[in-house]
Amino acid sequence: MIRFLSKALTDIRSNRFLNIITIMTIALSILLVSVFMLFFENTGRVLSAWNQGGRGMVYLSYAFTPAMLPNVKEQLVSIGGIEKIVFIPKTQALERLKKEMGAKTSFLSTLQENPLPDALEITMTDHSNFDQIQKRADRIKALEMVDTVEYGQGWLGRFFKLFNLFKMTGYAMSGLFLMIALFITANTVRLAFYARQTEIEIMRLVGATDGFIKTPFYVEGLLQGFLGGVLGILILLSGYLTLSSGISQNLSAYVYLDIHFLSWQAVAIVLFSSTFLGWFGCFISLKQILK
């Protein structure tokens, strides 16, 4: 194996320009895919936080009395997907409001009665799918003692839809760029093979097996893929370090933002994928050439 690795490195050095082009192509494809991954990872986390971890408020009608609470809770549980239900009586809700509004609560002392309804704060078990949350909320709203359900359906719902659209576009573009990288890698291997055709013919004459001939190419493909992946991740990291602190500082006053780099698992998946890409490009090229 060391022999094949040494041969592969020698061949990469002797065709430096071609190999640099291939590694750069893989790096740029990986960069694009990683940018999408970074965007989706962080946006998903932010949306989850904005979605208050799947929490919603069920505002009960004015006809509700505390004696009806067990029945209402039972009805909610029967809908399914609800992990926790906390009853917030109107008195507690008013105290909370006074605390949140701070000094601006003087107008509340003029009120004759508490205008706030009784409410139930619910936490959903699975809040990753906004459509599902919406359907569940509609079923809750249909219950007799329920007036309205708040779960961020306004702007958050629209944002989720946009996010999903971006996700699909991201997948499609990533797939396209990976295909381009694959074809360029396959073509590089083809060119390298034809450049070494005399050498390969002589190797065959002295009794080299297909495995002996092909293995250095496979090793070369693996190296190209791995180096391309590493380069792509490094470019992404430098971009992230440069931009992320600025973005967080400028926007954190208006919205909750906590931007992280890709997790170790995501980086490992990216590197594995790029290495596989390098090998696979080699495989499909050699399969055709040595048919």
- Name the one range near another protein by CB under 8 A: 77-85, 197-205, 228-236, 237-245: 197-205
Residue 288, interface with another protein (CB under 8 A)? Answer: no
Q: Which value, to the nearest 10 degrees, does the dihedral of the CA atoms of residues 283, 285, 288, 291 take?
A: -60
User: SS3 for 119?
Assistant: strand
> Going by C-beta distance under 8 Å and a sequence separation of 6 or more, which residues neighbour residue 76?
58, 82, 85, 120, 122, 140, 143
Q: At closest approach, how far in Å is the CB of 216 from another protein?
A: 12
Residue 206, interface with another protein (CB under 8 A)? Answer: yes
**Chosen residue from 1, 103, 168, 205 binding another protein by CB under 8 A:** 205
**Chosen residue from 20, 77, 208, 251 binding another protein by CB under 8 A:** 208
Number of residues that bind another protein (CB under 8 A): 15
DSSP 8-state secondary structure symbol assigned to residue 45: H
**Chosen residue from 209, 249, 250, 288 binding another protein by CB under 8 A:** 209
d(CA 226, CA 271): 6
Residue 98, interface with another protein (CB under 8 A)? Answer: no
Residue 199, interface with another protein (CB under 8 A)? Answer: yes
Between 86 and 208, whose beta carbon lies closer to another protein? 208
**CA–CA distance from 132 to each of 80, 138, 139, 150, 157 (Å)?**
11, 10, 11, 15, 11
| Binding track, positions 212-231, relative to another protein; x by CB under 8 A | x-------------------
27: its two tokens: 């790096």
User: SS3 for 196?
Assistant: coil
Residue 194, interface with another protein (CB under 8 A)? Answer: no
Q: What is the side-by-side strand order in the sheet with 146-150?
A: 82-88, 119-124, 55-60, 146-150
**Positions that interact with another protein (CB under 8 A):** 3, 14, 198-199, 201-210, 212
